[in-house]
Amino acid sequence: MTQVRTRFAPSPTGFMHLGGVRTALYAYLFAKKNGGKFILRIEDTDQERFVPGATEVIYDTLRDCGILWDEGPDIGGDFGPYIQSERKSLYLPYAQQLVEKGAAYYCFCTKEELDERRAAAEARGEVFKYDKHCLSLSKEEVQAKLDAGVPYVIRMNAPTEGSTSYHDLVFGDMTFPNADTMDDMVLIKQDGMPTYNFANVIDDHLMGITHVMRGTEYLSSTPRYNFLYNAFGWEIPQYIHLTTVMRDAQHKLSKRDGDAYYSDFINKGFLKEALVNYLALVGWNPGTDQEFFTMDELIQAFDVRHLNKSPGIFDVTKLEWMNGQYVQKMDFEDYLKMAAPWFDKVLAGKGTDYRRLAELMQSRTDIFSRIPEKIAFLAEMPDYDPAIFFNKKQKSDETVAREVLPQLLPVLESVPEWTEAAIHDAVMAKIPAWGKKNGQVLWPMRIAISGQESTPGGAFEIAYLLGREETLRRLRASIAKLG
Ligand code: GLU
């Protein structure tokens, strides 16, 4: 049996779209599941769409996700080069072979001529398809133009009748009428570069790709590629078309909404492990109710028969939940390292004990970008409504606070060393003498120094994190506020 070889073939046009990451992931999982090879190929023949730096973004993103290629531009392999622009010179001879076989032909029509005929077709309400004008040139006429250096493209001589059928591993048997899906598409452009439509066939063949995984937008182009494979007499690969990753039933993920790119999510503080885990489940299911997967577990579980035919919905709320689950399970030191820059956004330079803060925050973190809003009260005392001193369960209200807070002030002022334990011991020692329940002191204390009902940690933790000076300052301000 031949070894399974899959590839991810992105065009370096910018950031990595989540749909692209998922395509790469599935191609990787499928190869690894079958003991095969996963190849990375950079498709940069469309130089106008090329964005500098985009290739590095592809490498970095895939590596970050743990989607590692066995052959590729930066690591080489037996079928290189793996960047299409570096393969430029090898495509023309293949196109010439097709010309010999009558499956392709030289076209010398100028842009102006084509524009004119396109405009005329549109005026007739027709969609312009190249009209095989140059197919009628004799061999001698073609040679004369080539000798004279007339610019040319090479076009596929597409069938105008009949239909093409193929089997897709997700969508089953597909049939397309040739007249609708084929045209005399350009194979080699004037600049000598192949088009995507040509290069993907040549490269998938030369690189021994056995299974082609790509988006459903290529379902209807596949007959053209099969025409080329057949013209060469090459074996056609297996096709696995993947549905689009959608935000909801109507909307695609969009750049504008900041939910299209891998980096959007990393910048918002999602964990790459959670993102990869969740992405795997958008459009595929393991056939069990398992939701959490390591990469190795995904490899074990992956089965193309469980790829969905309907678009995958990328549910951010679900991802946030899953991310939270990953955060809870994170090694504490890793959490601290990742959380620190988010702490810095509001607490930089304040000398807050980040380690203690991280202990309090880890269980309260779903995505890291929400940390600053959750700890903003540590940086600045929020203005609050004294009504929040009321708490039925804690038997606290404004009156209790007005009584307790002035008693608390000298106690805190005289705490010997500002540690959580010392603050705790000093306050707790006084409560019985004041004839109060713990909640009647601790609730008002927490409100008075945090300005909010819900905080990570209780009164002692917050007092400790704020430091003596700031705690006392806030307490005095709250006493004054209550009058
Ligand atoms: N370069 C194409 C793209 O980015 C690749 C499609 C394919 O996998 O063949 O859409």
Q: How far apart are CA 233 and CA 179, in angstroms?
A: 22
Residue 257: the pLDDT is 80
DSSP 71-120: BBTTTB-TT---BGGGGHHHHHHHHHHHHHHTSEEEE---HHHHHHHHHH
CA of 42 to the centre of ligand 1 (A): 9
CA of 16 to the centre of ligand 1 (A): 13
The verdict on whether 101 is a catalytic residue reads: no
- The model's pTM: 0.92
- For atom 3 of ligand 1, the residue with the nearest CA is 10
Average pLDDT, rounded, for the chain? 96
**Roughly how many angstroms between the first and final C-alpha of the chain, as a whole number?**
85
Is the pLDDT confidence value at 383 over 90? yes
Residue 20: the pLDDT is 95
Which position has the token pair 């809870």?
328
CA distances for 122 relative to 66, 126, 155, 230, 390, angstroms? 49, 5, 22, 33, 74
Which DSSP state fits 386? G
Confidence of residue 265 (pLDDT cuts 50, 70, 90): very high
- Comparing CA positions, the residue from 171, 170, 130 lying closest to residue 154 is 130
CA of 159 to the centre of ligand 1 (A): 24
Confidence of residue 319 (pLDDT cuts 50, 70, 90): very high
In the chain, pLDDT over 90 holds for what percent of residues? Answer: 94
Residue 288: the pLDDT is 96
* Architecture category of domain 86-242 in CATH: 3-Layer(aba) Sandwich (3.40)
- Comparing CA positions, the residue from 240, 88, 228, 229 lying closest to residue 174 is 240
In the chain, pLDDT over 70 holds for what percent of residues? Answer: 100
Is the pLDDT confidence value at 415 over 90? yes
Instruction: Provide the CATH number for the domain formed by 262-328 in this structure.
Output: 1.10.1160.10
Atom number of ligand 1 nearest to Cα 43: 1
As given in the structure block, the two tokens for residue 430 are 């006084």
CA of 348 to the centre of ligand 1 (A): 44
Mean pLDDT (whole number) for 148-171: 97
- 367 in helix, strand or coil? coil
Residue 259: the pLDDT is 81
Tell me the domain boundaries of the chain: 86-242, 262-328, 332-369, 386-482
Least confident of 33-47, 185-199, 250-264, 398-412: 250-264
Residue 253: the pLDDT is 87
Task: For the domain made up of 386-482, give the CATH fold.
Answer: Arc Repressor Mutant, subunit A (1.10.10)
Q: Residues 6 or more apart from 418 whose CB is under 8 A from it? A: 464, 467, 468
CA atoms within 13 A on the CB side of 404: 29
Residue 48: the pLDDT is 79
* Residue from 32, 88, 189, 255 carrying the catalytic annotation: 255
Is the pLDDT confidence value at 483 over 90? no
Tell me the pLDDT tens digit for each residue of 384-396: 999 999 999 999 9
Mean pLDDT (whole number) for 98-105: 98
Is the pLDDT confidence value at 1 over 80? no
The residues pairing with 104 across neighbouring beta strands, listed in sequence order, are: 156
Confidence of residue 134 (pLDDT cuts 50, 70, 90): very high
- For atom 10 of ligand 1, the residue with the nearest CA is 10
Q: How far apart are CA 140 and CA 146, in angstroms?
A: 10
Confidence of residue 475 (pLDDT cuts 50, 70, 90): very high
The residue whose CB lies within 8 Å of the most ligand 1 atoms, and thus the one to mutate among 40, 43, 51, is: 43
Residue 147: the pLDDT is 97
- For atom 5 of ligand 1, the residue with the nearest CA is 9
**Which residues approach ligand 1 with their CB closer than 6 A?**
9-11, 43, 196, 200, 214
Is the pLDDT confidence value at 249 over 90? no
Residue 52: the pLDDT is 87
